């Protein structure tokens, strides 16, 4: 039986929700959705250029993590800017040393954003990936463990804290 699927461009356009589903439900319309994607892409490109050019280790340009500033403890995201800077300069190991979580999460977020953007522009996009629930629970445990362990003052866990390799 032929049942042509609608073009996936978001709930209002008749397709499944995309990365920006929360926004597009409020703003209405695939045109607004495309505009938001284009704006976000521009903002991301600008931010990445700044992080590429300005080394977070040497510059006071970047704000300190509020969690680190208030509690003195690292959050799971601490070291992200330094990791991105190292990654863009090709130092994969150094990036991993500053924050392994952000490096591992990067493909997931990039894939989701890229495919969502392709769908918004009605371009052919690879399918959404269904993550089995146990895997997400494992991720939750891993994030919580990472957060706790990188703050412990033991030498055996210090490799999880932001550090230069």
Q: Give the binding site for another protein (CB under 8 A).
A: 1, 3, 6, 11-12, 14-19, 21-22, 63-64, 66-67, 69-70, 75-77, 80, 101-102, 105, 108-109, 111-113, 127-133, 136-137, 139-140, 143-144, 147
Instruction: Tell me whether residue 5 or residue 58 sits nearer to another protein (CB atom).
Output: 5
Q: Least Å distance between CB 105 and another protein?
A: 5
Instruction: Tell me whether residue 63 or residue 155 sits nearer to another protein (CB atom).
Output: 63
The separation between the first and the last C-alpha atoms of the chain, rounded to the nearest angstrom, is: 58
Q: Least Å distance between CB 55 and another protein?
A: 19
Q: Least Å distance between CB 93 and another protein?
A: 20
Instruction: Tell me whether residue 141 or residue 155 sits nearer to another protein (CB atom).
Output: 141
Q: Least Å distance between CB 26 and another protein?
A: 11
Instruction: Tell me whether residue 127 or residue 155 sits nearer to another protein (CB atom).
Output: 127
Count of CB atoms situated within 10 Å of the CB of 139: 15
If 0-12 CB within 10 Å is exposed, 13-18 middle and 19+ buried, where does residue 57 land?
A: exposed
Q: Least Å distance between CB 49 and another protein?
A: 18
Instruction: Tell me whether residue 34 or residue 147 sits nearer to another protein (CB atom).
Output: 147
């Amino acid at each position: 039986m032929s049942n042509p699927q609608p073009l996936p461009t978001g709930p209002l356009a008749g397709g499944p929700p995309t990365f920006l589903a929360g926004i597009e439900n409020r703003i209405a319309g695939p045109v607004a959705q495309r505009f938001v994607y284009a704006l976000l892409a521009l903002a991301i490109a600008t931010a990445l250029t700044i992080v590429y050019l300005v080394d977070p280790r040497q510059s006071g340009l970047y704000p300190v993590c509020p969690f680190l500033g208030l509690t003195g403890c690292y959050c799971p995201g601490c070291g992200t800017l330094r990791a991105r800077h190292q990654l863009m300069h090709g130092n994969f190991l150094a990036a991993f040393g500053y924050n392994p979580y952000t490096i591992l999460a990067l493909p997931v977020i990039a894939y989701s954003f890229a495919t969502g953007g392709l769908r918004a522009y009605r371009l052919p996009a690879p399918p959404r990936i269904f993550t089995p629930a146990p895997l997400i629970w494992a991720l939750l445990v891993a994030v919580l463990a990472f957060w706790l362990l990188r703050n412990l003052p033991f030498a055996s866990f210090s490799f999880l804290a932001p550090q230069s390799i």
